């Protein structure tokens, strides 16, 4: 398919990433490893290795395996609150990874400087506009804003609200990529029209042929509807918990029972709040592995975004990306025609202030 609009509209994103398409794959623990990451990069997108709680030597090996499978850019996602976070920074620096992505919480200026000094570009998740501006001052090269429609650990604000807050003339200095609940090219086009540099998707790629997730895990996604991917609930502020969005199953009830058990111990003084929070995180790490690797879809964790509604069949990564690209191009063309722009001239200035139109 010949592209007239997308190359101009997401040029900031493709130039930054060095990719054909400004489509990133979100880092999903146990899922985003060398097979899926390299397939996405080879298909013109941007693959991201999920560092998660991976042992440092395993992360280094995963980086090397990815390099052996693709010559195209990819990144490594590091969770700032993970036990191996410091070691992961060392691996990223030593392996000269071209892109480092910080998630979990706001990294320190020293963390950012260390990675940039090794030649990597830094992307960071920004949940609040004020923090985003602070990160820009600290040298972050790009931002990812992710709404609560996403899978896994989520924040309180919807993607559509975050996009308006960040993109409408607030953050213009660096690229901003939008994530959370995106499952179609048409929705990517809408965020591009607001000024996004590109989009990040995760759930849609779980059902890719190249994804190593267990067949039962993929089948659970294919059967699910958007309303099946629900966030967990915090029962009491005495034990703060970050909501996790997943397809509801027996594992959800296991988490609720554990939360109540730990809450009782915290309130009685038998356990500290911090110890309780660690136990809850350990639950998710183990439950996710049981589902993704072992195929336990009853008691394992089926972390998924509401865009699971669009994960309806197993497809090659290249086919998924081409569908997204085609949908985005068609939608942008419709918007342009509706505003009197001829095909090939790019989007009208009304869609992207400051966008040069030939």
**Residue given tokens 């039962």 in the structure block:** 216
pLDDT exceeds cutoff 50 at 346 = no
Q: How many Å apart are CA 200 and CA 267, to the nearest integer? A: 40
pLDDT in tens, 108-140: 999 999 999 999 999 999 988 999 999 999 999
pLDDT in tens, 27-41: 999 999 999 999 999
* Average pLDDT of the chain to the nearest whole number: 93
**Residue given tokens 């880092």 in the structure block:** 27
| Burial label, 113 (beta-carbon count in 10 A; 0-12, 13-18, 19+) | middle
145 backbone dihedrals φ, ψ, rounded to 5°: -110, 130
- How many other C-beta atoms are found inside a 10 Å radius of the C-beta of residue 326? 15
pLDDT in tens, 275-289: 999 999 899 989 999
- Check if the beta carbon of residue 246 is closer than 8 Å to that of residue 228: no
Domain at 6-201+316-338, CATH class? alpha beta
The DSSP annotation for 254-292 comes to HHHHHHHHHHHHHHHTSS-HHHHHHHHHHHHHHHHHHHH
Q: Which residues of 168-198 are buried (b: 16+ CB within 10 A; e: fewer)?
A: eeebeebbbbbbbbbbbbbbbbbbbbbbbbb
Q: Which residues contact 184 (CB under 8 A, 6 or more apart)?
A: 310, 324, 327
- Is the alpha carbon torsion for 308, 313, 318, 319 positive or negative? negative
Share of the chain above pLDDT 70, in %: 94
| Domain boundaries along the sequence of the chain | 6-201+316-338, 223-308
């Amino acid at each position: 398919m010949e592209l007239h609009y997308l190359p101009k509209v997401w040029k900031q994103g493709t130039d930054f990433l060095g990719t054909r398409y400004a489509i990133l794959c979100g880092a999903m623990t146990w899922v985003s490893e060398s097979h899926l990451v390299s397939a996405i990069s080879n298909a013109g997108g941007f693959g991201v290795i999920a560092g998660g709680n991976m042992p440092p030597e395993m992360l280094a090996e995963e980086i090397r395996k990815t390099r052996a499978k693709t010559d195209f850019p990819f990144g490594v996602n590091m969770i700032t609150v993970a036990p191996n976070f410091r070691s992961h920074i060392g691996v990223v620096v030593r392996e000269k990874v071209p892109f480092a992505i910080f998630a979990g919480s706001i990294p320190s200026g020293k963390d950012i400087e260390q990675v940039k000094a090794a030649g990597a570009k830094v992307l960071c998740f920004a949940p609040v506009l004020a923090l985003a501006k602070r990160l820009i001052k600290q040298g972050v090269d790009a931002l990812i804003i992710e709404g609560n429609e996403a899978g896994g650990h989520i924040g309180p604000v919807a993607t559509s609200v975050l996009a308006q807050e960040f993109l409408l003339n607030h953050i213009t200095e660096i690229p901003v990529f939008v994530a959370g609940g995106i499952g179609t090219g048409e929705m990517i086009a809408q965020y591009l029209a607001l000024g996004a540099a590109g989009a990040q998707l995760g759930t849609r790629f779980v059902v890719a042929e190249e994804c190593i997730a267990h067949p039962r895990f993929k089948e659970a996604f294919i059967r699910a509807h958007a309303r099946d991917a629900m966030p967990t609930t915090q029962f009491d502020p005495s034990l703060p918990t970050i909501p996790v969005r997943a397809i509801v199953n027996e594992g959800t009830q296991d988490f609720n029972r554990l939360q109540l058990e730990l809450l009782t111990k915290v309130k009685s003084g038998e356990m500290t709040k911090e110890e309780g929070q660690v136990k809850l995180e350990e639950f998710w790490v183990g439950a996710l592995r049981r589902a993704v690797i072992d195929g336990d879809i009853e008691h394992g964790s089926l972390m998924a975004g509401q865009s699971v509604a669009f994960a309806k069949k197993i497809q090659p990564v290249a086919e998924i990306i081409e569908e997204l690209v085609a949908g985005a191009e068609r939608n942008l063309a419709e918007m342009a025609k509706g505003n009197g722009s001829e095909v090939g001239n790019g989007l009208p200035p009304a869609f992207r202030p400051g966008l040069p139109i030939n």
